[in-house]
Amino acid sequence: MEVRHVTIVVNRNRPGADETAALVDSYLTASGVETAVVNAPVDNAGPDYALPQGTDLLVTLGGDGTILAASRKAAPVGVPILGVHMGRFGFIAEVHPECLVDRLRDLLSGHFRIEERGMVHGEVLRDGASVHQAFGLNDIVISRGAMTRMLQLSTRIGEGPAMEYVADGVIVATPTGSTAYALSVGGPLMDPNLRALLVAPICPHTLAARPIIVPDTQHIRFVVETDGGEVRFTADSTAVSS
């Protein structure tokens, strides 16, 4: 992969992000690489950015959330992401600012490896028609929203028998997402190179309901049997439908 055009995504709420963006922009420009600097939406608010045409690489300056949002733009067009960890907690953003120039130098000289991560695609159907869909690098979550009672979910994985979940919701997580929300409901950690999905109920009303791992080629179908109330569909903690 030849890097000729880099888009720098900046979470300006992170301390040092502006200074690091200026450093990246200056270094790449001096190396003959075209750059574009865009602002990442903060807390799913504010104007979103469009991926500039011709982008060969995304450099995100923020945390895991900045990468998760960027992945939904980068994945459909096959653009890799270099995540720079700007403070706080992060599993996916592995490059620290003090090492950034060295990593950029490696990248421009061809000394790098692209690690592919699986994503999960979710779709909401009403009366047989698709009304919403989204991709998640971490997970897709169906939850009860503001309802005080639990959801009853009829669940079918592939051609297997139907199962019933009575719970606050259910998480379908990728191996990358196994360290996120799914971990907090008792899900196992998964190697990011696995081609699998994790199905994990949220606060199930039975001891028999446990997280399960299935091949990522399986189609997972949930039917909400609960009448009335709000049911939320989120991708990587971003609300898509309710």
- Please confirm, yes or no, whether 18 is among the known catalytic residues: no
Residue 130 pairs in a beta bridge with 125
Alpha carbon distance 166, 74 (integer Å): 36
Its pTM stands at 0.89
Instruction: Write down the pLDDT at residue 46.
Output: 58
The full set of domain ranges for the chain reads 5-108, 120-241
pLDDT single digits (tens) 186-212: 999 999 999 999 999 999 998 888 999
The topology under which CATH files domain 5-108 is: Rossmann fold (3.40.50)
Res 184: pLDDT = 95
What is the Cα–Cα distance from 174 to 141, expressed in whole angstroms? 12
pLDDT given at position 93: 84
Tokens 């720079």 found at: 84
> What whole-number distance in Å separates Cα of residue 85 and Cα of residue 27?
18
Residues of 113-145 as b/e, b for ≥16 C-beta within 10 angstroms? eeeebbbbebebeeeeeeeeebbbbbbbbbbbb
Token readout for 140 is 């897709």
Please identify every stretch of the chain with a pLDDT value under 50, giving residue numbers as ranges. Answer: none
Identify the helix (H) or strand (E) that includes residue 143: strand 139-143
pLDDT of residue 41: 82
Active-site residue identified among 25, 64, 139, 236 = 64
Q: How many residues does the chain have?
A: 242
- In 3D space, the residue among 223, 211, 225, 222 whose CA is nearest the CA of residue 149 turns out to be 225
Contacts of 1 (CB under 8 A, 6+ apart): 56, 80, 114
What is the topology classification, in CATH, of domain 120-241?
Tumour Suppressor Smad4 (2.60.200)
> What's CA 4's distance to the chain center, in Å?
26
